[in-house]
């Protein structure tokens, strides 16, 4: 079994590994059939993004990526309308982006995959170098930077980063970069909206997560085996 | 130059469950006690309030209650031929920071470990023969018995508000509990938690397959409760934010709401937060220690706190680190197998299957930390013949939900794309309609799994990081294979719409993703100073006024969560100090 060097929780939890393709093609229909509330937001106006870390080229890359990963459909508005780009920008500008809680002393060695993250880069530095390297790789392969690719090229390039097939010359490993971006997109989509993502609690509505009000002493019996439908409540809703 | 402070009777390093228990007990016995806690103080009424406490990003993703690897971490490697590298971020395990320690963010699973662990070598040799145990499996008897510990288990269960159902009351098997458990003198202090649909489905399937399911005992109060010390617990609200969170309902057993506030009201006790212990001070002329050196991390001031008795009550890994940094006892060498400090580091192993049931509603956001229906047929059941599978130890299997929040928990059938509309459709469809069956497996000690000091990397105090050398051995792989088979057979019998089967681990232990904060060993207990660091009273063989308390004394790791025996041993040690050591200081064995 091959082991990734980098945080694989997102991948593991979304079970992308191995196995025959399930009946994924039929899923949208059955999801509707079982009553998943479609979260159509007709032409919802997003506030213009104000970035504190990403430069315009980097922002264009992230916007293109989150909109490809989270397209507008019957399940939710698209990534930028959910604020996933803003979530990432704020995370990179925060202590986390600057290496908070990360041991940053050398010497630096690649190590073996089981030893985890060993790059001499804070998350912010990983994004900065990773986006530049990704755009350079896109230019080399497609003659255009990532945000100018067509959807099929974008898909191909993202799969290439995910598997590590795309090589970032002189940059960080593409797979390490992409694993971090992927994890951050999931955080933005399903974390509390106060961090900039999950706008309108659309990520929570998509799956039926009720948010922060969780007094279920009686519900645990009353709703055992039954659907529990409520309007989700976020931290700022209660603050 | 460190400031030398006035001597006290007892100095405690680390104020979590074990430090809190010992602080309360010894202060009540009239001893002057000072606790040094590297973190700050967080209070449930101000720090664990709704809505702020319900924040998956802050607590789960960014590790707000956990140790800060920027200040101190370990280096890790799978075997002695590798170069160990720093665990630069938390991943596989999550030791706590701040007063209350990991007992603030645990889930509350509270087991009684039995003579099957405490007499592990003699029992296996008796039943399976000496040759059954691999040569490099360095398991040994613990030097303590279940009967000795039974009253202390009960004491801890009552203090921590454990909900459960007895399966064996004074030798009589009681329906509804774990029939394989060791005899208990009394029932649990609280009845079991209300079971979830996933638990009920697992219970029916397990029973139909001939197993013996029972509600897992856990320190989540199933109803309001006042413990024997007068500490008040609220009822668990099944809020789904248990593991990695402080409890807003004061329903989770925690030193922070039980023993610690009682100790703090006692004038014999003083807590110093942000006090980072760097060394245990030795008396070069005698087999005793003289106190603890520490740094105030708020301003860098250095102190020496002299004390008649020193108690190491930090997280298991940090207790071992402090022993190695202080040069107490002989460091373990895996080549010569001489020395004891660092020996027998153990971990646990796990696997899980995800079962998808079209049309069911599991409400994965409604659960307690202990919402788990479990079978012990392949662990505490000594009748189960291990030789058919060729391993030592065993595993427990459970149908359970615990803290299944949407960043970390979004089950989809294998083969689902990782993004795009198909991914969203599957995520939306299956979030509420999937459940898991998981297992936790034991890890037996091995000659080459150990701790020592890293030759290269240093922490924020300029001290060597501790180096962890660990990997799973063939014994653990065989447990994993058998457990995966049991899980998958059970899962298939439940006829799910889709099944992501459990897969036995075959690769090396990795520092990501999260696996378990059940790290054990390094200063193990035993009957012989040549093969153990502490005696049955957790007293150092090399310094009779030093006690090292925590899962670091376990000579191997069971399938069960470790906090039950950790708490019981803390009470056991407190009694030994109060009733024996103080009257006649010296080795108790």
Residue at B184 is within a domain: no
Percent of chain B with pLDDT strictly greater than 90: 98
Tell me the torsion sign for CA atoms B450, B455, B457, B459.
positive
How high is the pLDDT of residue A23?
31
Residue at B273 is within a domain: yes
Please state the rounded mean pLDDT for residues A63-72: 98
Please state the rounded mean pLDDT for residues B1-28: 97
Instruction: Verify whether the Cβ–Cβ distance B88 to A225 is below 8 Å.
Output: no
How high is the pLDDT of residue B217?
98
Kindly report, residue by residue over B533-589, the tens digit of the pLDDT: 999 999 999 999 999 999 999 999 999 999 999 999 999 999 999 999 999 999 999
Kindly report, residue by residue over A151-196, the tens digit of the pLDDT: 999 999 999 999 999 999 989 999 999 999 999 999 999 999 999 9
Residue at B421 is within a domain: yes
How high is the pLDDT of residue A239?
85
Residue at B188 is within a domain: no
B300: β partners: none
The SS3 assignment for B507 reads coil
Instruction: From chain B, pick out residues whose CB is under 8 angstroms from the CB of A113.
Output: 510
How high is the pLDDT of residue B343?
98
How high is the pLDDT of residue A45?
56
Kindly report, residue by residue over B152-171, the tens digit of the pLDDT: 999 999 999 999 999 999 99
How high is the pLDDT of residue A16?
30
Q: Which of B70, B366, B456 sits opposite A103 (nearest CB)?
A: B70
Cα–Cα distances in angstroms (integers) from residue A74 to residues A71, A182, B261, B550, in the given order: 10, 22, 52, 52
Catalytic residue among B321, B498, B518, B556: B518
| Active-site residue, B63 included | no
How high is the pLDDT of residue A39?
46
Please tell me the distance from the alpha carbon of residue A65 to that of residue A85, in angstroms, as a whole number.
9
The mean-pLDDT minimum among A39-43, B268-272, B566-570 falls in A39-43
The answer to whether the beta carbons of residues B114 and B184 sit under 8 Å apart is no
Residue at B182 is within a domain: no
Tokens of B443: 């890890």
Cα–Cα distances in angstroms (integers) from residue B403 to residues A83, A124, B50, B169, B369, in the given order: 25, 29, 16, 32, 7
* B86 pLDDT higher than 60: yes
How high is the pLDDT of residue A44?
53
How high is the pLDDT of residue A4?
37
How high is the pLDDT of residue A47?
62
Say which CATH number the domain at B566 has. 3.50.50.60
Task: Indicate the pLDDT class of residue B62, thresholds 50, 70 and 90.
Answer: very high
Task: Indicate the pLDDT class of residue A48, thresholds 50, 70 and 90.
Answer: confident
* A42 pLDDT higher than 60: no
* B240 pLDDT higher than 70: yes
Containing B169, the helix (H) or strand (E) segment is strand B168-169
Please state the rounded mean pLDDT for residues B201-209: 98
B453: β partners: B466
Q: What is the CA radius of gyration of chain A?
A: 19
How high is the pLDDT of residue A214?
78
* A15 pLDDT higher than 80: no
Residue at B491 is within a domain: yes
| Pairing assessment for the beta strands B172-173 and B168-169 based on DSSP bridges | antiparallel
Instruction: Verify whether the Cβ–Cβ distance B82 to A112 is below 8 Å.
Output: yes
Q: Which of B73, B194, B508 sits opposite A103 (nearest CB)?
A: B73
Kindly report, residue by residue over B301-311, the tens digit of the pLDDT: 999 999 999 99
Tokens of B436: 């898991």
Instruction: Verify whether the Cβ–Cβ distance B422 to A25 is below 8 Å.
Output: yes
Please state the rounded mean pLDDT for residues B19-47: 96
Domain count within chain B: 1
Kindly report, residue by residue over B355-372, the tens digit of the pLDDT: 999 999 999 999 999 999
Range of the domain at B419: 3-77+93-169+194-509+519-581
Q: How far is the first Cα of chain A from the last one, in angstroms, to the nearest whole number?
A: 47
The SS3 assignment for B360 reads coil
Q: What DSSP letter does each residue of A4-69 carry, written as one string?
A: -SS--HHHHHTT-SSS---SGGGHHHHHHHTT------TTPPPPPP--SS--HHHHHHHHHHHHHH
Q: Which of B62, B363, B514 sits opposite A228 (nearest CB)?
A: B363
Residue at B325 is within a domain: yes
ipTM: 0.96
Please state the rounded mean pLDDT for residues B410-416: 98
Residue of chain B minimizing CA distance to A159: B418
How high is the pLDDT of residue B1?
83
Residue at B588 is within a domain: no
């Amino acid at each position: 079994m091959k082991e990734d060097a980098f945080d694989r929780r997102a991948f593991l939890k979304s079970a992308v590994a191995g196995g025959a393709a399930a009946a994924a093609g039929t899923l949208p229909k059955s999801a509707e059939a079982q009553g998943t509330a479609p979260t159509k937001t007709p032409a919802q106006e997003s506030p213009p993004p104000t970035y504190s870390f990403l430069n315009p080229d980097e922002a264009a890359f992230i916007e293109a990526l989150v909109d490809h990963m989270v397209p507008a459909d019957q399940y939710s508005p698209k990534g930028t309308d959910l604020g996933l780009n803003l979530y990432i920008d704020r995370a990179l500008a925060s202590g986390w982006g600057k290496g908070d809680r990360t041991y940053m002393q050398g010497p630096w060695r690649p190590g073996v995959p089981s030893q985890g993250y060993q790059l001499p880069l804070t998350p912010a530095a990983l994004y900065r170098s990773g986006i530049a390297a990704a755009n350079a790789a896109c230019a080399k392969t497609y003659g255009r930077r990532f945000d100018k690719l067509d959807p099929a090229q974008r898909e191909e390039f993202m799969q290439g980063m995910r598997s590590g097939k795309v090589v970032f010359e002189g940059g960080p490993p593409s797979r390490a970069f992409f694993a971090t971006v992927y994890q951050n997109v999931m955080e933005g989509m399903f974390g509390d909206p106060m961090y900039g993502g999950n706008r309108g609690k659309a990520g929570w509505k998509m799956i039926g997560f009720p948010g922060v009000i969780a007094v279920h002493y009686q519900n645990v019996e009353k709703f055992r085996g039954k659907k529990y439908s409520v309007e989700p409540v976020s931290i700022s809703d209660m603050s | 130059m460190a400031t030398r402070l006035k001597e006290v009777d007892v100095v405690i390093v680390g104020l979590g469950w074990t430090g809190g228990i010992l602080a309360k007990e010894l202060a009540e016995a009239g001893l002057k006690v000072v606790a040094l806690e590297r973190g700050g103080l967080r209070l449930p009424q101000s720090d664990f309030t709704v809505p702020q406490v319900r924040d998956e990003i802050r607590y789960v993703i960014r590790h707000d209650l956990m140790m800060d690897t920027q200040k101190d971490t370990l280096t890790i490697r799978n075997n002695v031929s590798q170069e160990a590298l720093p665990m630069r971020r938390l991943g596989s395990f999550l030791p706590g920071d701040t007063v209350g320690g990991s007992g603030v963010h645990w889930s509350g699973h509270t087991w009684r470990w039995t003579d099957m662990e405490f007499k592990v070598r003699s029992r296996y040799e008796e039943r399976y023969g000496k040759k059954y145990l691999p040569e490099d499996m360095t398991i040994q008897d613990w030097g303590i018995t279940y009967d000795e510990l039974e009253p202390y288990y009960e004491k801890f269960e009552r203090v921590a508000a454990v909900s459960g159902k007895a399966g064996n009351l004074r030798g009589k098997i009681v329906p509804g509990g774990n029939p394989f458990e060791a005899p208990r003198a009394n029932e649990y202090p609280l009845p079991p938690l209300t079971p979830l649909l996933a638990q009920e489905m697992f219970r029916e399937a397990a029973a139909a397959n001939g197993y013996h399911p029972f509600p897992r005992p856990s320190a989540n109060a199933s109803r309001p409760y006042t413990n024997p010390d007068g500490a008040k617990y609220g009822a668990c609200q099944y809020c789904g934010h248990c593991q990695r969170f402080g409890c807003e309902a004061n329903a989770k057993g925690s030193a922070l709401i039980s023993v610690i506030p009682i100790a703090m009201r006692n004038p014999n006790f003083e807590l110093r937060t942000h006090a980072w212990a760097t060394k245990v001070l030795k008396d070069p002329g005698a087999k005793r220690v003289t106190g603890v050196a520490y740094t105030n991390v708020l301003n860098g001031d250095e102190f020496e706190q002299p004390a008649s008795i020193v108690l190491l009550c930090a997280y298991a890994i940090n207790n071992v680190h402090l022993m190695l940094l202080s040069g107490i006892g002989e460091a373990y060498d895996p080549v010569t197998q001489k020395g004891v400090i660092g020996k027998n580091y153990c971990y646990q192993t796990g696997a899980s299957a995800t079962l998808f049931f079209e049309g069911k509603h599991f409400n994965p956001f409604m659960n307690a930390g202990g919402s788990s229906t479990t079978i012990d047929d392949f662990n505490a059941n000594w009748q189960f013949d291990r030789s058919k599978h060729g391993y030592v130890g065993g595993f427990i299997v459970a149908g359970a939900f615990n803290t299944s929040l949407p960043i970390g928990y979004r089950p989809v059938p294998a083969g689902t794309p990782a993004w795009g509309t198909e991914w969203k459709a599957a995520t939306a469809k299956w979030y509420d309609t999937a459940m898991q069956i998981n297992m936790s497996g034991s890890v037996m000690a091995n000659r080459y799994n150990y701790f020592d000091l890293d030759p290269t990397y240093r922490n924020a105090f300029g001290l060597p990081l501790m180096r962890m050398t660990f990997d799973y051995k063939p014994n653990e792989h065989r447990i994993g294979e058998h457990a995966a088979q049991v899980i998958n057979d059970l899962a298939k019998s439940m006829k799910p719409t889709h099944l992501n089967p459990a897969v036995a681990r075959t690769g090396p232990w990795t520092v990501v993703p999260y696996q378990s904060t059940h790290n054990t060993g390094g200063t193990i207990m035993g009957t012989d100073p040549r093969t153990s660091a502490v005696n049955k009273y957790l007293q150092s063989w090399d310094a009779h006024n030093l006690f090292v308390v925590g899962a670091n004394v376990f000579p191997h790791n069971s399938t069960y969560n470790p906090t039950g025996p950790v708490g019981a041993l803390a009470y056991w040690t407190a009694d030994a100090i109060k009733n024996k050591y103080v009257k006649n200081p010296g080795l108790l064995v």
